[in-house]
Structure 1
Amino acid sequence: MRQLNIATHSSAQKNSILTRIATRAIVLRGEQILLLFTERYHDYSLPGGGVDEDEALQAGLVRELQEETGAKNIRNIEPYGVYEEYRSWNKHGYDLLYMKSYCYRCSIDDELGDPQLEHHEIQNAMRPVWVNIYDAIAHNEETIVNSDKKGLSIERETFLLKLIAEELVES
């Protein structure tokens, strides 16, 4: 899979590193993209998340996409690229998180089922939405500049959305 980016946040110090492997789903319909809107952070992100130990990447992608969006009949899964990042992490005895996100394009049925969100996702008021990709990019850019609510993943998500719009959205 091609390398999309390696980002090291300015606060990152490489001492005690926690490695996390994740997948991200790219589901497009023209300029519409299936994203998660998180009220707490006021941002859009690709569906996906951590891959369980001994879980294949594509199996993790399917599980996360189903859980977070209620997607049905996930198919035509194709590798898109890998985004790597280092960021500060002050939990569980680690001071640095190394996140490797495997991004995949895929198709789903038109109708979404009920998401099976985790407790923290419900607390953060996360919900799946179909949104115009250019509107999502503009919204995230506005949040980056003007919001003190933004989360640590917004730079990754905005980078990926811009790349997807440039390379995959049909004009």
Structure 2
Amino acid sequence: MLLGKFVHDPDLDLSAPTLERIAVRGVMFRGDELLLLASRHGDYKFPGGGVEAGESMPAALGREFLEECGRREVEVGLAIGSTVEYLRAVEPEYEVFKMTSHYFYCSGGVDDRSQQLESYESELELTPRWVTVEEALRANRAVQASGRGVMRWLVRETEVLSQLADL
């Protein structure tokens, strides 16, 4: 089971007022390749995002695959595990932002090639690509080492990729 706890700022007081968010991430294999989102910086992230109020995790993941990858009718399978991240909150009434990401094996789907990206995703030029776990790990580690274009998800996604490589 994948599991990770990441505190992005060692000075964070985890007992301070906290905004919590639940997210889902999809792990879809095609042979030895994974469907990941490549950014303009050269790193990779898993398709997924926040679960909206009243939305089930499978429904949220289906919506995210459609929005980010242009892939509909994705089957959400077994849960792999979760990660928990603690970051400094942007909202003034909170000090801590806690995000729990649940990872699920996914399969199938119909590719209609029409992304519906949020503005920050468009700025990052997120593009669905089939790559091996090793290729994605190399790319993420290179971006992390460069210190340029490092997004907050990079530590989390690199750790999950590392755990997948060890399976």
TM-score w.r.t. the length of structure 1 is 0.88
Instruction: Provide structure 2 residue ranges, at least 5 long, that are not aligned to the other structure.
Output: none
Change (3 A) 1:110 1:130: farther
Which residue matches 2:69? 69
Indicate the larger mover: 85-94 or 22-31.
Answer: 85-94
Instruction: Provide structure 1 residue ranges, at least 5 long, that are not aligned to the other structure.
Output: none
TM-score w.r.t. the length of structure 2 is 0.89
Which residue matches 1:101? 101
Deviation, 1:25, is 0.2
CA shift digits 1:47-79 (9 cap, x unpaired): 000000111111111111111101133125221
Q: What is the rounded CA distance, in whole Å, between the counterparts of 2:147 and 2:2 in structure 1?
A: 30
Give me the CA root mean square deviation.
1.8
Deviation, 1:148, is 2.6
Partner of 1:7, secondary structure, is strand
Q: What is the rounded CA distance, in whole Å, between the counterparts of 2:94 and 2:39 in structure 1?
A: 26
Which residue matches 2:120? 120
Q: What is the rounded CA distance, in whole Å, between the counterparts of 2:58 and 2:104 in structure 1?
A: 8
Which residue matches 2:3? 4
One-letter amino acid matched to 1:57: M
One-letter amino acid matched to 1:5: G
Indicate the larger mover: 13-22 or 153-162.
Answer: 13-22
**Contact 1:72 1:113 (C-alpha < 8 Å) held by counterparts:** no
Partner of 2:54, secondary structure, is coil
One-letter amino acid matched to 2:129: V
1:33 pairs with 2:29: no
Which residue matches 2:22? 21
Change (3 A) 1:148 1:12: farther
Deviation, 1:159, is 0.5
Partner of 2:161, secondary structure, is helix
Indicate the larger mover: 49-58 or 107-116.
Answer: 107-116
Q: What is the rounded CA distance, in whole Å, between the counterparts of 2:57 and 2:111 in structure 1?
A: 24
**Contact 1:71 1:108 (C-alpha < 8 Å) held by counterparts:** no
Q: What is the rounded CA distance, in whole Å, between the counterparts of 1:36 and 1:50 in structure 2?
A: 16
Q: What is the rounded CA distance, in whole Å, between the counterparts of 2:70 and 2:47 in structure 1?
A: 11
Aligned residues: 165
**Contact 1:16 1:96 (C-alpha < 8 Å) held by counterparts:** yes
Q: What is the rounded CA distance, in whole Å, between the counterparts of 1:166 and 1:37 in structure 2?
A: 22
**Contact 2:62 2:76 (C-alpha < 8 Å) held by counterparts:** no
- Could you tell me the percent identity over the aligned residues? 30
